[in-house]
Structure formats: structure tokens, C-alpha cells
């Protein structure tokens, strides 16, 4: 919270202080004094007195030579009246004191030698101004019992009609000039404390702390105590209402609203801000979006813990003024806000309702239409529709008919809002009759006939709870002078039986969320005179309160994991014979509205064994029923393959990140992220190549710590193909972090994907270090964005070319999505430079876990393969990824693209295999799967290839949640490490999943693969080690970790190592024995020669001659050599011959 501020201007030399305007708005000469006039003069003089020109009071500006300011300061309005000035806003709406400093007579930049001395002159004065932030009084406001800081405590200084509020920890700082003051700390529910005669001196602030005693609250309704085991750090608020709260009695009369008038938008805005400021402990004012004319769609939250969903506490909403000229609901909801705020803490009924329910009130869903409507309108249509002239109650996706009108900003904002909260009950307030209308609003035939929902009995009870408290409504004959034949028994009716309304909001609530909604017509006159408003409040006050209490009827409780006691997100609660399940919220909490009776209720969740209980529901209050589910196939039976699940980790950062992924995977997790994100990202124009390049460079230069901009290569016409990486360490390799790729613009005539990815990049960068969830995702993910793969085609494509193929191909006329062919294909060809760039620099790096390609021409998602194949490996996972994107899109999952050229096309779930929709060879996603080992889906963003720029904000609103869901999903699946028994990491090991899909371990033995939720088989193979076979259970909301430890291979040629060694040893022994026998035999033969005499060679030459003779191998050679007898006697010769 800012305390002090300076707004630097040019055009004179003076310090100006509030107020800048006066009630009379006289152009000049009116001193408009603020409550802190002395403080502001002190601050202004501090700056001016140290400025050599300003302190003279004579700026001597050209044309204003005679203008003087005493002491160099002036009251803003006294100088000249400025309506809507920033310094006044700071003072009135925040804790911040701001003055305006006019620094120079010259408004333009200073050039040349005058610039440096003048800058030094001003900067030196600012150094004297900064320390004034420390003056006044400061301290803490704490609870006397617990010692906890009291946020938003009001600090009141006697004699100064301007209060400030304490910060989050009860800390406050109040700027004051030197003097003696009485200061009071006030907090609702606590006794105020005043500290008197506090002396404030020059310099540092005087420290004063406050300790406030809680006051005793009036007794509320009895609440049943209970105990539920949740994840560590989770809290549960017990909320079952055992009996109806008593109506106000004569002993206590609640405070009634007094603000009865028609509130135009600015007036309503001030009203809402006023109550948010006056009752900060029970209110939170927020906006869910903007109208066509950019008016905020405000919601006032009223709860004892605003801004927080308390486990076990149901959420309720009222929506008014959906039709701009039906204004009674708008004013009644403003009255209701006033009533709840003023009576909390004193009226038992209101206090219990606020403490046990999180209430959201949207006074106006169509503020633009309201501004066009006219007081006194009885049954007209002026202002009924929004500024685009569409009826918002015909603009929601319908179960029976295709709504052809484009989704409006108000509709989109409300749908996103409804998905972000676990609403249980709602009412939509209208005008023009007097009746409560319940689903369904239309039927398959499109005629006025009773269209019964599965919860028809519940809806009738809800409708009656309202009409019974409104005497005139309950009579059933609402508008006799306008519609004399119209009659509604007990003041309620089935919507379609009254008249058929396709595209209504109440049906969409029931079919797409856990919320039951009815439509309440509050009166025959749509825009009554202001003086009649008190009558409407009196007629509807009890009905509004009684209807809110119905949120506590039926069954509620928790669905918990038997293993760790944590709540199970998105578990299904089914009631036998009622075909309408509801799902659990992030803590496993659920609410199921039911009428009195006996029910069989089943809790089920993917990967868990279902549990069924018989429950008795009474006529009043709610019944708590908790379910504990055991995981399927989680125990290891003897002789079976072990099942590995996510191991517990002692690293608190890992646990925190796992919790974040679980929260973002919740039904409304991403909506909450978007509602809390910073910056208003809304693409409004298409960027040609030059602007796209400058935009990417701008992101890189402004966010250098988390971005890295590189070129993958050049197009045919030498345009760069840019790649932007977003990560906390964009220039470092982090193999343990999953890597995701977003690619757009493969067809230049479909540039919507390009703009969506640029918006995504800007959203991520702007929210880094500002939004905790986005920051953690960037810190743990490597995100690569290629916004335009075909920049040449994009340059010649034409806006509003919905079906034009101009720019679809690259400059060579080649469709790039047919160019991703293998080098081993039957007809190899030279790849286009754009294709080669992304293949060589991204796809074949094989380090991506997921790829998302954005195209145009329909509204659906395709998964591999685009080429005709008999079987698709890992089909369930690929289809799961595509379905995840479609389900996070408000329209895509309905499966009715509604494109003009295929108006009757039906794609179940908005997901289809590529070859079944548009079969072709050489697609990028097929190549990514087969050669890049990375799953890829293709998103077709809109029916029109190149829609008008005016549609871009709506397209971004539709797709941003789906794009973010991919960033969350890439962290799921299975990630693990492969090592041997000594702990040595094994890289390049093969991981075979489900007997088909293969991935390989990276450096450090790490691997990561995305898999659909469920049980999967893993075979790990590495040279020199035994093959390892395990099973892993993959959750839908968290990653599963696996540690695979290899045993050294003890089999040779498929035989046990011991057997092979024995056989080898025996073989060697036999070989040695055989050699010995041969040697012995040879030795015996050799010894026979020793029994006679034979001639020994005498000369070396004779030996050579013998060799030469033997080498010739002919008879002639033998004859040509004479026999030389060298013996001495004939007897020797004879003996030799005989031998």
C-alpha cells in the first residue's frame, strides 16, 4: 500500500496539492480544502523550499510572467479546476497522499547543455521529498486474544475527517504533521480503542500499537461439530444448517435499506465501492470481465472470509439485470448488499447466513443495455439487448439447438466466472412478469411443452421457497391488466411450458456446472418509477433470504483418499434414479441439493473403487455424508507385478508444486488463475512480419531473465522463423524440466494462432513474479513458442478472408503440412527451408514432452495420425490431450463447430483423429510423433481462416484457458529415473510403455512421458542389465514418479548365468582332457623313432636343398638330384635301406 507519491509534470514550476477540483467546478480561484490540508501543505513546501526557482514563487514562464505562487505551492483547484485528477483519486480511494510537481515551464524534452543541470536540480529536490514517507504515526492493530494482526482496521484521527486502513498484518502508517492527536482503531466485531495525546514530532513516525478485544456475537444457529481428515494445511468450516433460521422477531428488528433510487453505472460503482470500503471484513468487490462498451461486470462477495473458499462451505450467487431494461433485480440486489452488510453481527439470521455461506452478488450483467433503457418502460425492448444487439439470455450454448449468434463478452465472462467457483445454487433476476421459472427452458421440438429435468422435484421445491414468501407471486395471477389469461399455480412454472427459450443461462448452469439456477420474474413493469422501489423490496426481502438458505438443503460432505486422507478432486457424486451427477471441489467437498426422501448415493473417482451409501434426507437442513475411497489395484499381491505410484518427497518445494498442479487441475483452477492474473491482455490487431519481430524483441529486451529469442532459420524469402523460449533459465539445459512446444502459422492464411501465441507469451511474461501460479509454472517448465512458421504466406494473406487460400502455402507454393516426410520415404524430396528449420532445430532434438500446433478453418482438435494407419500407438493418451484442450474451451467441447460450409458437422467432444477429418501425408504432428518421440495435437481455432481483428479479444478469451491447461498437463504423466543398484544413472535406456510407445532416458537417467490417467505397464531395457517390468498408476491431477533400479544381467543367451558357467567349465575341462589324450598318443608314436638309427643332417645347405626339392613336387626334380653316399661302409648303407 502506497503512503506517499509525487506526480511529475511540466508547464510551470510549482507544487500543487489536493483538491484539484471543487463542487462548483469554477475554472479558477476556489480553494478546495481537503481534510489533510496541513499535511499536504507541509509536503508541498518540503519540495518547493529546496528548489531554488520554485521557492521564489515566480516561475516566470513565457506568457505567464506575472503568475506567482506563495512559497512555491498552490491548492490545485485554486490554481485551475481539474476534474478527475490522479492526486485526488489517490487521497480519496487509497491510503496514499500525492502532490503534483510542475518541474519546468517547458513541457517538451530539454536538449543540449541545459538538460543535465536541470535534471540534477530536480533530482536533488526529490531526495528531500522521499523521507517524508516516514513522518506521522505508525504501528500495528492486533487481536487482544490471539495477537493476530487485524487487516483493514480503520485508523481514525480526531478532528481529521479522513480515515486510513491497516494492511494485511494489521500494520498501518498515518502521515501527520507535528502536533498532538487522539487516534482510534476500529474493527467490526471488536471494541474500538482510542489512544489520546499522541505527540508527533519532526522526523521519524511515532509508534503506537493497538490491542482490540473481540465483542461477543449474538448466538447463531446450532451447528453440528464434525471432524474430517484433509491434506496438511487445509481447513474446514462446518456449515450444516440444522433448522431454518428464525425470522426477525419483535425483540430485534433488522436495519432496512434506505438507498432506494435507480443507480446508473457510475452511481452503482460508487455504491459498491462504498460498501466494500466500509465493510472490508465481510466484503470483496471484484470484476469478472467487461461489457462490450468496457464497463466492469462487478460482483460483490459477502462472506466472513472474503476471497477464500472455505472447505465445506457452499457458494451462492444472484445475477441481476441480464436484460438491461429489466431493472428491479438490479436495485433489489443493491438493497440486499446494504441489508446484509448493515445487519451482520447484530441480526442472527443475517450473521448465520454470511458465516455459513459464500455469497456472490452481480447487480448488473448488462450495464450497457441499462444505460440505454428508460424509466417508466412497462413492456418495451429498448435496452433489453447488449450493445451488439444480442439477447444475452439466448446466447449460451444449448443442449437442443445450435446457437448461431457469436458469444458475447458478457456471456463469455459469466461462463468463465461460473467455472471458477463451486456454485451450488443461483437465481437470475428478470422483470416483465411475476413468477419463478425453472429448467428446462426449451425442448427438442422447440415448442411450448413441459420440459422436465432430472431434478424436476428439486427445482419445484426451490421455486416454491421463493414464491411462498411473496404473497402476490404465490397467488399465481401476476399481471391481470397486461396478461389477463396468464396463470401460474403457486407462482412457479417450467420454463419451456411457459415459452421456449433456447440458449438460456439457467439451463447452461445446470448442464455444465454443479449449480442449480432458476429465473425469477420480479414484476409486471420492467422499469418502474423510483418511488415504487421500496414496495418491491418489501415484497421480495423475505423471498431473497429464504431462497439463499436453500443452498444448505440436501446432502453435502467430503470424498477422501483412504491412503493419505486428502480430499479427492473431481470425484463424482451420483444419486440412483437421478441422471445428474455432481463433482467434488479441490478439498473433496461436495454439495448435492435434494428433496426429502431416501437415496442411494455413490461416490466414484478415476482409479478408485466406488462407495455407495443409503442416506435419509429430512425436510429441513442438510445431511453430511463423507466417503472414503480406496485406490484400485494399488496393493501388490504375491507373484504379481508391483504397482509404483508417486512417492512421498520430503522436499517442501516439490510438495508445494504438486499442490499447485492439483489446484490448477481442479474444475475451476484455471479460472481462478485467470481472475487473479495481472495485466489486461487483449489482442486487438494482427501483426505483420515486421511488427511481430519487433514485438518478440520487445519481450526479449524487457524480460531478459526469462526469455531467449533465436532464429530457427529463414523462409524462402529470407524472413526469420523466430523461436521464443520462456523459462527461468532460458539458456541452460535442464533435462528434469518438461519442455513444451507451441507452433502456429504453418498455414499463412490462418494467423489467429499466431496472435494467440503472442498473447500467451505476453501474459506469461507480465505475470512472472506477480502471479504465484504463473511464476512457478515458468520456473518449472521450458516453454518454446514459434508464432509463425510460414511468414511468407502470412504476408500475402488477407484479413476477413474466411475461406481464402491465399497465403496458405509458402513462397514455393508448397503446403508445409505435407512437407514433413521421412528421408526414408518412398519418394524423398528436398525439404522446404521452413520445414527443415523446425525439424533440425526443434523436433529432432527429441527433448519435448508435448507439442501444440494452432491452425484455422474449424473449431476442433485433431490428434495423430493424419496419414491413414491401422493402429495408433498411445491412442488413449493422444485423445486425452486433445480432449483436455477442447474441454477447457467454452464451445469446442460441444462438438458443433457450426462453420458456414459445414453447418451440420458434428464432432463428438470436439476431438477427432486427423486421418478421419482430413487425411494427408507429411504432416508435422505425424513426424513429431514418429521421429521426434513427442505427442502433438493440432488445434483449429475458428471457422474463419482470417477473421476480422475485432474478433481477436473474444478468441483469446475462449482459448487462453485451454492454452494454459497444456502448461499444466505437461507436468503430469510419468517422470522417473533409471539407475543400477550402486546408484549410477543409466542414460539411453529404453522405456517401453504399454508394449508400444518408446522413450529413452536422458542424461542423468531421467525420462518423462505423458500418459492418460489410469494404470500403465512399463518395461525398462538397458544393455548389461536385466529387463525391468513395473506398473504405474497415473493420476489425472498430479504427476507420478518412478524410480527404476536395474539388476545386473545374469542370463547369457537366454540361459541362467550359473548354467552357462557350468556348461562352459565342463566344456573347457573336456577340451583340456582331449588335448592331453592327443598329446599322449602323439608322444607314443614319436618314441618309436628312437628304437633305430637314422642319418642326421650335417649341413644347412643340404636342408635348404631338401626344402627346395620338396617344394617343386615333381618326379623330374627327384631324378635330377643325385644320391650321395657319405657312409664309410656298405653295411651301413644296407641297413639304412632296409629301415
Residues annotated as catalytic (active site), given as ranges? 102, 521
**Which helix (H) or strand (E) covers residue 98, if one does?**
strand 97-104
Let me know: does 164 contact 92? Beta carbons within 8 Å.
Answer: no
* Dist. CA 954–CA 959, nearest whole Å: 9
Cell numbers found for residue 681: 491482455
Strands 739-744 and 707-714: unpaired
What is the rounded CA–CA span in Å between residue 305 and residue 286? 15
One DSSP character per residue, 792-810 reads HHHHH--TT-SS--TTSS-
Half-sphere exposure of 779 (CA within 13 A, CB side): 13
Residue bearing cell 526529490: 126
Work out the angle between the directed axes of helices 752-767 and 952-969 (0-180°, nearest 10): 60
Q: Is 592 within 8 Å of 558 (Cβ atoms)?
A: no
Q: Pick left, alpha or beta for residue 476 (phi over 0 → left; psi -120 to 50 → alpha; otherwise beta).
A: left
Contact of 1011 with 973, CB cutoff 8 Å: yes
Burial class (CB in 10 A: 0-12, 13-18, 19+), 244: middle
CB-based contacts of 1011: which residues, under 8 Å, 6+ apart?
874, 877, 973, 974, 993, 1034
Residue 916 CB neighbours (<10 A): 11
Smallest CA-to-CA distance from 124 within 103, 108, 110, 107 is with 103
Q: Can you tell me the distance from the alpha carbon of 998 to that of 994, in angstroms, rounded to the nearest whole number?
A: 9
* Nearest residue to 1028 via CA among 563, 601, 642, 599: 642
Q: Terminus-to-terminus CA distance in the chain, angstroms? A: 126
3-state secondary structure of 1013: coil
Cell of 416: 468463465
Report d(CA 262, CA 329) in Å as an integer. Answer: 11
Please give the helix or strand (H or E) that residue 1057 lies within, else none. helix 1057-1088
Tell which residue, 656, 667, 567, has the closest CA to residue 608. Answer: 567
Helix (H/G/I), strand (E/B), else coil: 738:
coil
d(CA 1139, CA 1131): 12
Angle between helices 348-356 and 328-343 (to 10 degrees): 100
- Could you give the 3-state DSSP secondary structure of residue 953? helix
Amino acid at each position: 500500500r502506497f503512503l506517499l507519491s509525487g506526480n511529475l509534470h511540466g508547464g510551470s514550476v510549482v507544487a500543487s496539492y489536493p483538491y484539484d477540483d471543487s463542487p462548483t467546478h469554477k475554472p479558477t480561484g476556489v480553494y478546495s480544502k481537503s481534510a489533510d490540508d496541513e499535511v499536504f501543505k507541509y509536503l508541498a513546501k518540503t519540495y518547493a523550499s529546496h528548489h531554488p526557482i520554485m521557492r521564489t514563487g515566480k516561475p516566470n514562464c513565457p506568457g505567464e510572467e506575472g503568475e506567482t505562487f506563495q512559497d512555491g505551492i498552490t491548492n490545485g483547484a485554486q490554481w485551475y479546476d481539474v476534474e478527475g485528477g490522479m492526486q485526488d483519486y489517490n487521497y480519496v480511494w487509497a491510503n496514499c497522499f500525492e502532490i503534483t510537481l510542475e518541474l519546468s515551464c517547458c513541457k517538451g524534452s530539454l536538449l543540449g547543455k541545459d538538460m543535465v543541470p536541470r535534471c540534477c536540480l530536480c533530482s536533488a529536490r526529490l531526495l528531500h521529498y522521499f523521507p517524508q514517507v516516514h513522518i506521522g504515526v505508525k504501528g500495528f492493530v492486533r487481536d487482544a486474544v490471539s495477537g493476530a494482526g487485524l487487516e483493514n482496521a480503520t485508523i481514525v484521527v480526531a478532528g481529521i475527517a479522513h480515515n486510513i486502513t491497516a494492511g494485511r498484518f494489521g500494520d498501518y502508517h498515518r502521515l501527520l504533521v507535528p502536533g498532538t492527536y487522539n487516534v482510534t482503531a476500529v474493527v467490526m466485531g471488536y471494541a474500538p480503542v482510542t489512544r489520546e495525546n499522541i505527540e508527533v514530532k519532526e522526523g521519524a513516525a511515532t509508534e503506537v500499537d493497538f490491542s482490540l478485544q473481540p465483542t461477543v456475537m449474538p448466538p447463531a444457529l446450532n451447528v453440528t461439530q464434525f471432524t474430517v481428515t484433509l491434506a496438511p494445511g487445509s481447513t474446514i468450516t462446518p456449515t450444516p444448517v440444522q433448522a431454518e433460521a428464525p425470522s426477525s422477531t419483535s425483540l430485534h428488528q433488522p436495519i432496512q435499506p434506505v438507498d432506494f433510487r435507480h443507480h446508473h453505472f457510475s452511481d452503482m460503482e460508487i455504491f459498491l465501492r462504498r460498501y466494500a470500503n466500509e465493510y472490508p471484513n465481510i466484503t470483496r468487490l471484484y470484476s469478472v470481465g467487461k461489457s462490450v462498451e468496457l464497463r466492469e461486470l462487478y460482483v460483490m462477495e459477502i462472506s466472513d472470509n472474503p476471497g477464500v473458499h472455505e472447505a465445506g462451505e457452499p457458494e451462492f450467487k444472484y445475477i441481476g439485470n441480464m436484460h438491461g431494461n429489466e431493472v428491479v433485480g438490479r436495485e433489489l440486489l443493491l438493497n440486499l448488499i446494504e441489508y446484509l452488510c448493515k445487519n451482520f453481527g447484530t441480526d442472527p439470521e443475517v450473521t448465520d447466513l454470511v458465516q455459513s455461506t459464500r455469497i456472490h452478488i452481480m447487480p448488473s450483467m448488462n450495464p450497457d443495455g441499462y444505460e440505454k433503457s428508460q424509466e417508466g418502460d412497462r413492456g418495451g425492448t429498448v435496452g433489453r439487448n447488449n450493445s451488439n444487439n444480442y439477447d444475452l439470455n439466448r446466447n449460451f450454448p444449448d443442449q437442443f439447438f445450435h446457437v448461431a449468434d457469436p458469444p458475447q463478452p458478457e456471456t463469455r465472462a459469466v461462463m468463465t466466472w461460473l467455472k471458477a467457483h463451486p456454485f451450488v445454487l443461483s437465481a437470475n433476476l428478470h422483470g416483465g412478469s411475476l413468477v419463478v421459472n425453472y429448467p428446462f427452458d426449451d425442448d427438442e421440438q422447440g415448442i411450448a411443452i413441459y420440459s422436465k429435468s432430472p431434478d424436476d422435484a428439486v427445482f419445484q421445491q426451490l421455486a416454491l421457497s421463493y414464491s411462498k414468501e411473496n404473497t402476490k407471486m404465490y397467488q399465481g395471477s401476476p399481471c391481470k391488466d397486461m396478461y389477463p389469461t396468464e396463470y401460474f399455480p403457486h407462482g412457479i412454472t417450467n420454463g419451456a411450458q411457459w415459452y421456449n427459450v433456447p440458449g438460456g443461462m439457467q439451463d447452461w448452469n445446470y448442464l455444465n456446472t454443479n449449480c442449480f439456477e432458476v429465473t425469477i420474474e420480479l414484476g409486471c413493469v420492467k422499469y418502474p418509477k423510483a418511488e415504487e422501489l421500496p414496495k418491491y423490496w418489501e415484497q421480495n426481502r423475505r423471498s431473497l433470504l429464504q431462497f439463499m438458505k436453500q443452498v444448505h438443503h440436501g446432502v453435502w460432505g467430503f470424498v477422501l483418499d483412504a491412503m493419505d486422507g486428502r480430499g479427492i478432486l473431481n470425484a463424482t457424486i451420483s444419486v440412483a434414479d437421478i441422471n445428474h451427477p455432481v463433482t467434488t471441489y479441490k478439498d473433496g467437498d461436495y454439495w448435492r441439493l435434494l428433496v426429502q426422501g431416501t437415496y442411494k448415493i455413490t461416490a466414484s473417482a478415476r482409479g478408485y473403487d466406488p462407495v455407495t451409501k443409503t442416506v435419509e434426507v429430512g425436510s429441513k437442513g442438510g445431511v453430511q455424508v463423507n466417503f472414503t475411497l480406496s485406490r484400485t489395484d494399488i496393493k501388490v499381491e504375491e507373484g504379481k507385478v508391483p504397482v509404483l505410484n508417486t512417492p512421498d518427497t520430503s522436499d517442501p518445494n516439490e510438495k508445494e508444486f504438486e499442490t499447485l498442479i492439483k489446484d490448477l487441475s481442479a474444475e475451476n483452477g484455471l479460472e481462478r488463475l485467470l481472475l487473479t492474473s495481472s495485466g489486461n491482455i487483449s489482442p486487438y490487431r494482427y501483426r505483420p512480419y515486421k511488427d511481430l519481430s519487433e514485438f518478440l524483441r520487445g519481450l526479449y529486451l524487457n524480460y531478459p531473465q526469462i526469455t531467449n529469442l533465436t532464429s530457427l532459420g529463414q523462409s524462402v524469402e529470407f524472413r526469420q522463423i523466430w523461436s521464443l523460449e520462456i523459462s527461468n533459465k532460458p539458456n541452460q539445459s535442464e533435462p528434469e524440466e518438461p519442455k513444451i512446444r507451441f507452433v502456429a502459422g504453418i498455414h499463412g492464411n490462418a494467423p489467429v494462432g499466431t496472435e494467440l501465441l503472442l498473447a500467451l507469451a505476453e501474459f506469461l511474461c507480465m505475470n512472472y513474479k506477480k502471479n504465484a501460479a504463473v511464476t512457478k509454472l515458468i520456473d518449472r517448465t521450458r516453454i518454446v513458442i514459434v508464432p509463425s512458421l510460414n511468414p511468407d504466406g502470412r504476408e500475402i494473406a488477407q484479413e476477413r478472408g474466411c475461406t481464402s487460400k491465399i497465403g496458405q502455402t509458402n513462397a514455393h507454393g508448397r503446403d508445409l503440412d505435407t512437407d514433413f516426410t521421412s528421408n526414408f520415404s518412398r519418394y524423398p524430396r528436398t525439404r522446404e527451408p521452413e520445414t527443415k528449420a523446425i525439424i533440425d532445430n526443434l523436433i529432432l532434438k527429441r527433448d519435448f514432452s508435448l507439442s501444440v500446433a494452432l491452425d484455422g478453418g474449424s473449431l476442433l482438435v485433431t490428434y495423430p495420425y493424419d496419414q491413414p494407419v491401422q493402429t495408433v500407438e498411445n491412442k488413449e493418451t493422444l485423445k486425452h490431450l486433445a480432449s483436455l484442450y477442447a474441454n477447457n474451451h467454452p464451445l469446442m467441447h460441444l462438438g458443433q463447430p457450426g462453420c458456414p460450409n459445414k453447418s451440420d458437422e458434428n464432432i463428438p467432444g470436439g476431438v477427432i483423429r486427423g486421418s478421419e477429418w482430413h487425411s494427408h501425408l507429411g504432416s508435422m504432428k505425424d513426424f513429431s510423433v514418429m521421429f521426434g518421440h513427442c505427442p502433438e495435437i493440432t488445434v483449429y481455432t475458428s471457422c474463419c481462416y482470417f477473421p476480422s481483428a475485432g474478433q481477436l479479444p473474444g478468441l483469446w478469451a475462449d482459448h487462453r484457458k485451454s492454452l494454459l491447461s497444456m502448461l499444466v498437463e505437461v507436468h503430469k504423466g510419468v517422470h522417473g529415473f533409471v539407475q543400477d543398484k550402486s546408484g549410477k544413472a543409466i542414460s539411453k535406456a529404453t522405456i517401453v510403455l504399454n508394449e508400444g510407445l518408446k522413450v529413452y532416458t536422458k542424461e542423468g537417467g531421467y525420462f518423462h512421458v505423458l500418459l492418460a490417467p489410469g494404470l500403465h505397464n512399463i518395461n525398462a531395457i538397458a544393455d548389461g542389465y536385466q529387463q525391468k517390468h513395473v506398473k504405474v498408476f497415473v493420476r489425472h491431477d498430479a504427476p507420478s514418479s518412478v524410480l527404476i533400479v536395474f539388476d545386473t544381467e545374469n542370463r547369457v543367451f537366454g540361459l541362467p548365468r550359473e548354467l552357462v558357467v557350468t556348461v562352459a567349465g565342463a566344456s573347457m575341462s573336456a577340451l583340456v582332457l582331449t588335448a592331453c589324450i592327443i598329446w599322449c598318443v602323439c608322444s607314443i608314436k614319436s618314441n618309436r623313432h628312437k628304437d633305430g638309427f637314422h642319418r642326421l643332417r650335417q649341413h644347412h645347405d643340404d636342408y635348404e636343398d631338401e626344402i627346395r626339392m620338396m617344394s617343386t613336387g615333381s618326379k623330374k626334380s627327384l631324378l635330377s638330384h643325385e644320391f650321395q653316399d657319405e657312409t664309410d661302409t656298405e653295411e651301413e648303407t644296407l641297413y639304412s635301406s632296409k629301415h
